[in-house]
Amino acid sequence: MINFPRQGLQNPLTLSSFTLQSLLLGLLLLILTHTLQTLLLVFIFHLLITNILLYSLAVNSHFS
């Protein structure tokens, strides 16, 4: 588990599982059609932005 300093949040993904997920995602992108690739990438970016915003909120609320 990766501990975020100060606020004590924990990332449920370990580095090794993140690497495995990245490899599986790469394999999926090779197999899927272009339309499905686009939809999947939009979904991934949505999750990424959501996680960044939630992390920012957690950091800001800790320092408030």
Beta bridge partners of 10: 3
Q: DSSP of 3-25, one letter per residue?
A: EPTTT--EESS-HHHHHHHHHHH
DSSP three-state, residue 2: strand
Residue 46 pLDDT = 92
Domain count, the chain: 1
Residue 60 pLDDT = 79
Tell me the C-alpha to C-alpha distance, in Å, between residue 54 and each of 14, 19, 50. Answer: 19, 22, 6
| Residue range(s) defining the domain that contains residue 16 | 2-63
What pLDDT tens digit does each residue of the chain (64 aa) get?
555 555 545 555 555 677 778 888 888 777 877 788 888 889 999 989 998 888 888 887 777 6
